[in-house]
Amino acid sequence: MSDRTLPRLLQTPAVVLLLIWMLVPLSMTLYFSFIRYVLNNLRRPEWTTPSLSNWRGFGNYEFVLKSKDFLFAIQNSLFIVCSILILTVILGVLIAVLVNRTFPGRGIVRVLLISPFFVMPAVNGVLWINMLLDPVLGLQGLAVNGLNDLAASLRDAPLIGWFFSLWPEFEPISFRATQTSAYAVIMMVTWQWTPFAVLIFMTSLQSEDQQQKEAAVLDGASTWAQFRFLTVPHLGRPIAIVVMIQAIFHLSLYAEIEIVSRGNGNKNLPYLIGEFANNNIGAASATGIFAVILANIVAIFLLRMIGKTLME
Amino acid sequence: MAIVAQTSRFSKIAWPIAAWAVGLLFFFPIFWMVLTSFKTDADAVKPEFLFFFTPTLENYLNMTENYDYWRFAANSVICSVFATVFTLFVGIPSAYAMAFNPSRSTKDVLMWMLSTKMLPAAAVLYPMTFITKNFLGIFDTHFLIILVLSLINLPIVVWMLFTYFKEIPKDIIEAGKMDGVNTWGEIREILVPLAWGGIASTALLCFIFCWNEAYWTVRLTTTDAATLSKLIEGNRAPEGLFFGRLSAVSTAAVGPIIVLGWFCQKQLVQGLTFGAVK
């Protein structure tokens, strides 16, 4: 045994564990996706046990592709992920620049800002959809009602009364409908992940070249020009990293969707798989394979993009 | 924001105000949850008690009655602690091998590990249920949840440890070899004490991720090994009749983690960006 064999062998447990974790369930998914396999079927009980004699070829894939939920789930997944990415990056950059200056209580503001990131996703969903966004009992409902009451009470006031009598009655928005619940999900995840972006951008801003900035000030560059031509380019790499890490986490977004969307038609790919898996395992598996393909496309793209910078 | 010249008096006042406003805005939902947890269920939905109310501890005192909180909390603690320990136990030797004895394939192995994180969990949901229920009989056990939590966090833990270990000069490790210390001794007596800070923050972050995990802990448990994620997810209470008690149980579920998080926010950056942002 050479001097370095044992040290190198030390990585095998991790590699083997991950390999099993990845390959065994995935190959079963692949197998199930090619057979007829349902959990309950009174007329065809033979379909309720996985067996090669129920071979269906690409039938499950066809079934999934033809179901109208599938296209919607993919579009919705991408819509939710992309919206979250755009919002967190923009908000993250702005807030990082804002908090990066020294001002009284900066440490406390930082602590306040980072807190949402540690809230567990299930609590995040329950908190937002009930206590904040509920159209009747939540803060949103209370705020809209309060505003309406205020306008109503001012209607009879002298001089300015006419102004408020022309005001519309505001309607609270229900975030439990198909499309609005996607907005609710975007809102709550953006709230949770913007702090993460802020933290990373702020760390990066601290390594910004101050001399270059001073030179720019001497040359009479406006604050906007400094931001646009010095800060934004400097943030290029951290932005790429924030996008990658968030893409990894949000493509498999589940708890928030589950809490906000049960039964109202809003779904992403993981949720659709969960729905299929209540009975039709073949279809669930085929959808799973599609999800793996989608994730791989994103992964290859992202790893290419920043893989090199990670390894430096 | 950027239109304001840097030295103007206006910006000296407006800047801190804006920063504080943003900070408070982001913290507000958490503040609101904590505040609501001290209201009775009836008061929680009344506009007249929005900010001024008689605080009560009732929701916290009845947490066991209403939700059986402590059983779920105990499961969360057990699963997260053991998963973190096990992940470090597997991760430290692995990161050691990669950082100090790299081979040509090390980079590829690291990249591959990261790519397993991208595998959508939902794709293997049914096989996991099938194997654990029909085949191994470990569905809804602590063992299963600990194993799964370890496996999903292993790639990130290895990556984090790898970036910490890389910073340690190789000579120090080599010096141990001269003194005739074997590989285990090298890890235990030289590497671990040297990289203690890095290992601790990795453990903390791993613990937080385990605690917050909400896919497998919900789908692979029913009662025995159900964690806090499952408890909250199962009580989403759309009717709003129980805002008070729901807030109390939510506060109890996230409070400790938020406080832990405050302590490791600096390490979070290095850990989650794999040292690429400094």
Residue A259 carries which side chain, given as an amino acid letter? I
How near does any CA of chain B get to the CA of A164, in Å?
Answer: 22
DSSP state string for B54-98: ----HHHHTHHHHH-HHHHHHHHHHHHHHHHHHHHHHHHHHHHHH
**Chain A from 130 to 149: CB within 8 A of any B CB:** 130-132, 134, 136-139, 142, 145-146
Verify whether the Cβ–Cβ distance A251 to B261 is below 8 Å.
no
CA A112, CA A191: separation in Å to the nearest integer?
12
pLDDT value, residue B20: 92
What pLDDT, on a 0 to 100 scale, did the predictor assign at position A1? 43
Render pLDDT for B61-80 as a digit per residue (tens, 0 to 9).
888 887 888 899 999 999 99
Rounded mean pLDDT for each run of 10 residues along chain A, 312 residues in total: 68 89 87 84 78 80 86 88 94 91 86 90 88 85 86 80 81 82 91 91 81 81 82 82 83 83 78 83 88 82 66 53
Q: B104 in contact with A at a CB cutoff of 8 Å?
A: no
Domain locations along chain A: 67-126+182-276, 134-174
Gap between the Cα atoms of B148 and B205, Å rounded: 16
Cα B132 to the chain's mean position, in Å?
A: 25
Distance from CA of A40 to the nearest CA of B (A): 15
Query: Quick check: A130 and B151 CB within 8 A?
Result: no
The domain made up of A67-126+182-276 has a fold known as MetI-like fold (1.10.3720)
Of A9, A123, A142, the CB nearest to B47: A142
Taking the CA of residue B49 and the nearest CA in chain A, the distance in Å comes to: 11
**C-alpha closest to that of A140 among A125, A153, A128:** A128
Chain A residues within an 8 Å CB radius of B94: 10-11, 13-15
| Cβ neighbours for B76, distance < 8 A, ≥ 6 positions apart | B211, B227, B228, B229, B253
Would an 8 Å CB–CB cutoff place B61 in contact with chain A? no
Query: What are the residue boundaries of the structural domains of chain B, listed by start?
Result: 77-228+257-272
The verdict on ipTM greater than 0.90 is no
Distance from CA of A241 to the nearest CA of B (A): 7
What is the pLDDT, as a whole number, of residue A224? 83
Nearest to B155 among A18, A97, A222 (CB): A18
Percent of chain B with pLDDT over 90: 21
Question: pLDDT per residue over B131-189, tens digit each?
Answer: 888 888 888 889 999 999 999 999 889 988 888 888 888 887 777 777 777 777 778 77
| Residue in B closest to A231 by C-alpha | B2
Name the residue facing B124 among A29, A203, A251 (closest C-beta). Answer: A29
What would the mean pLDDT of B47-63 be, rounded to a whole number? 82
Whether residue B24 has pLDDT greater than 90: yes
Q: What is the pLDDT of residue B1?
A: 42
Average pLDDT over residues B260-277: 73
pLDDT 10s digits, B95-137? 988 888 888 888 888 888 877 877 778 888 888 888 888 888 8
Are B276 and A115 an interchain contact pair (Cβ–Cβ within 8 Å)? no
Give the residue-averaged pLDDT of B180-202: 82
Q: Mapped to the 3 state alphabet, what secondary structure does chain A carry? A: CCCCHHHHHCCHHHHHHHHHHHHHHHHHHHHHCCECCECCCCCCHHHHCCCHHHECCCHHHHHHHHCHHHHHHHHHHHHHHHHHHHHHHHHHHHHHHHHHCCCCCHHHHHHHHHHHHHCCHHHHHHHHHHHHCCCCCCHHHHHHHHHHHHHHHHCCCCCCHHHHHCCCCCCCCCCCCHHHHHHHHHHHHHHHHHHHHHHHHHHHHCCCCHHHHHHHHHCCCCHHHHHHHHHHHHCHHHHHHHHHHHHHHHCCCCHHHHHHHCCCCCCCHHHHHHHHCCCEHHHHHHHHHHHHHHHHHHHHHHHHHHHHHHHC
Identify the pLDDT of residue A294.
Answer: 84
Within an 8 Å CB–CB cutoff, is residue A259 touching chain B?
yes
Residues of B in contact with A138 (CB under 8 A): 240
Distance from CA of A266 to the nearest CA of B (A): 16
Find, in chain A, the residue whose alpha carbon is nearest to that of B126. A277
Banded model confidence at residue B2, pLDDT cuts 50, 70, 90: very low
Distance CA A17, CA A105 (A): 46
Tell me which residue in B208, B243, B250 faces A123 most closely, judged by beta carbons.
B250
pLDDT value of position A4? 67
Contact A258 B233 (CB under 8 A): yes
Tell me if chain A has a CB within 8 Å of the CB of B192: no
Domain B77-228+257-272 has CATH 1.10.3720.10: yes
pLDDT band of residue B275 (cuts 50, 70, 90) is low
